[in-house]
Amino acid sequence: MSSLQKQILSLFEDIDPALKEVVTEVMLVEQEFIHMERPRGVMERIDQVLDRVAKDMLKEEGNHED
């Protein structure tokens, strides 16, 4: 991870872990596509990250209600 990515993540140290996970993974997705002039699939990948994290949060909430 580059020093810029570490600096950005340091800004999110005190936030909810799920949100921090989203930020981290979106940075990785964007890094993967940064070399492309017109990247395709970035938004779909970001949507997948958001969906997965949201589903994980709902599962955790469901487990805590028992």
pLDDT digits (tens, 9 = 90+) for 32-55: 888 888 888 899 999 999 999 999
The first and second tokens of residue 4, run together, are 């810029």
What pLDDT sits at residue 1?
Answer: 64
- Give the mean model confidence (pLDDT) for residues 18-42: 88
pLDDT the model gives residue 41: 87
What's the first-to-final CA gap in the chain, in angstroms?
39
Question: CB neighbours of 31 closer than 8 A, spacing ≥ 6?
Answer: 5
Name all contacts of 33-37 with Cβ < 8 Å and 24+ positions apart. Answer: none
Q: How many CB atoms lie within 10 A of CB 33?
A: 13
CA 38, distance to chain mean position in Å, is 21
Average pLDDT over every residue of 18-34: 90
